[in-house]
Chain A
């Protein structure tokens, strides 16, 4: 099943590209010229998101370096024990919305500490796979078009992250405990 899905995903991008090119050929669209016109925009977007990305990434990096996450972890540990949540997974819960590369690092840490077949590893894997780095996505997407008033977008994203965490704890306890 997993092999099938993995090999399927290798073919998806070539499939999309082929459809676009065949359709262009059929409609006699000048594909090469239109490609280069569209591709030019890639530079502008990448440059435009830099200031937004710096603001967000400095925030999250400083928060992690200061030890604030560990302090929150200590405060939360009694609650976590009550819900049978392994203490090792708290860091991933606290950093998932902030930093994507950090999350993968933390996942690797948890595997090292508790073993690859432990409950902590499975819970951390489900959390990592089922969510996205909220702050990064917000800064890239809104940065690219210059939105400064985010309104409720971040709050909705974070609330959904919290619901996702609760769901992850519940689903994993049903499947793996």
Chain B
């Protein structure tokens, strides 16, 4: 991560010198740091709401019930979460919310799942295998209906925007499976 950070910024400066776009780059630094804070703050409301709901489900025992149903298949993907029921059910909720295109609901479940995994983590700054697998499948962005994209296409007057659903589903499934595959292969190389 350190190298990616340094490399991306330095390469941008070099390109900015070549292209004469240094003024835009300086402007981008100011604007994007502002934007980052705005995004984080705008998450507070929906995050608090879902974490509140999750806490009710946790205390009433609904989470345990849900995790027992979903546990078996998920444990194949996340073998080190055998003793971590809460993480399993939050992962399941995150994946289902993502699949349904409910991004706002998916993020709090995902963060909660990460926290559950972090509780059992020995080295708090070092990601575990399950964390990496979970992150990789989240970045693959599996979803059944790409609602936002379809909204944009139909707003611009495409005759039949639902024609992209099947191709998108095929592609996102391939990306999801390869994210799983790569994280399993690579976890042995990165200790």
Contact = CB atoms under 8 A, between A and B. Distances in A.
Interface of A: 1-2, 5-6, 9, 12-13, 16-17, 19-21, 23-24, 26-27, 29-31, 34-43, 45-47, 49-50, 53-68, 70-71, 97, 104, 107-108, 111, 116-117, 121-122, 125-134, 137-138, 140-142, 144-157, 159-161, 163-164, 167-168, 171-172, 175-176
Given A38-B52, A121-B158, 5 more contacts: A12-B102, A46-B43, A67-B19, A116-B156, A141-B138
Interface of B: 1, 4-5, 8-9, 11-13, 15-16, 18-19, 21, 24-25, 27-29, 31-33, 35-37, 39-41, 43-45, 47-49, 51-62, 100-102, 105, 107-108, 110-111, 114-115, 117-118, 124-127, 131-136, 138-141, 143-150, 152-153, 156-159, 161-172, 174-176, 178-179, 182-183, 186-187, 189-191
Closest 7 CB pairs of A and B: A38-B55, A132-B141, A129-B146, A42-B48, A164-B175, A61-B32, A39-B52
B24 A58 contact: no
B33 A58 contact: yes
Given A43-B48, A65-B27, A160-B140, A71 B32 contact: no
Contact of B36 (A54, A151, A176): A54
Given A9-B147, A153-B136, A154-B1, A65 B25 contact: yes
B41 A46 contact: yes
A137 B149 contact: no
A138 to B, nearest CB: 6
A153 B56 contact: no
B49 A53 contact: no
Identify which of B21, B159, B175 gathers the most chain A CB atoms within 10 Å of its CB: B175
Q: Is the interface of B mostly helix, strand, loop or mixed?
A: helix
A60 B29 CA distance: 10
A163 B172 CA distance: 10
A14 B169 CA distance: 25
Given A41-B48, A156-B183, A24 B1 contact: no
B164 A125 contact: yes
Given A66-B15, A145-B118, A151 B178 contact: no
B146 A130 contact: yes
B36 A57 contact: yes
A29 B165 contact: no
B165 A152 contact: no
A59 B21 CA distance: 15
